[in-house]
Amino acid sequence: MDEDGSQIGVKPTNEAREYAYGKNLDLVEVAAQADPPVARVMDYGKYRYEQEQKAKLARKHQVSVNVKEIKLRPKIGVHDYETKKGHVVRFLNQRAKVKVTIMFRGRETTHPERGRDLLMRLAEDVKEIGQIESPPLLDGRNMVMVLGPTKNAGVSRDAKAEDTQGGEEEVQGDGGGQAAAQARDEESPAEQEVREAQA
């Protein structure tokens, strides 16, 4: 085949190579299994460059999704639950999916509703940044649920930082009022009478 895709016909290898070199191009075998093998006259360097650019563009548009896993027990304590919930929030803010697994031991398997309630509570607690992609399903001794990030995930962190900063400023503003109240409490009764008379 010629560089424009037209058929040249069957030629011996040496003759085909001379034809390609005469055009200052390369002879590239494109279908070795065919009988006779198919070769094409082309600029191989330019062809490889175009292929690399296509692959790079495909990688650029490809979104890699990380799946993180959190394991819980049905009898988890309040503080442990809050810690695990914090991990889930962090993963969702990193735009990762979270696989939440509840592990049952012994006779805990007779009460799967406790695990389901815990998973639903977790989903409710993180509903602003995470949505249920796979509902709680019992898988042997484990119950599994998958949470995926919503559009708000990773965005609300800046707003929370601003709220915290505003709260600190309010506390600092109140500090002056507390100091004035404390100074009034330390006044003697005679000084209080004088101050009230002046007011």
Give 46-90 pLDDT, tens digit per residue. Answer: 888 888 888 888 877 766 677 888 898 988 888 999 999 999 898
In a domain? residue 166:
no
Alpha carbon dihedral 69, 127, 80, 73, in 10-degree steps, equals -60
Domain that holds residue 126: 67-149
> What does the mean pLDDT of the chain come to?
76
Do 145 and 96 reside in the same domain of the chain? yes
- Is the alpha carbon torsion for 132, 133, 139, 142 positive or negative? negative
Q: Is residue 41 part of a domain?
A: yes
What is the domain-level CATH number for residue 25?
3.10.20.80
Predicted confidence at residue 14, as pLDDT, reads 81
Q: What value does the mean pLDDT take over residues 90-110?
A: 88
pLDDT interval class at 192 (50, 70, 90): low
115, 104 contact by CB (below 8 A): yes
SS3 for 91?
helix
* Domain co-membership, 73 together with 139: yes
CATH number of the structural domain spanning residue 126: 3.30.110.10
Q: Under 8 Å CB-to-CB from 109, ≥6 apart: which residues?
A: 141
**What is the total count of domains within the chain?**
2
Q: Are residues 73 and 108 in the same domain?
A: yes
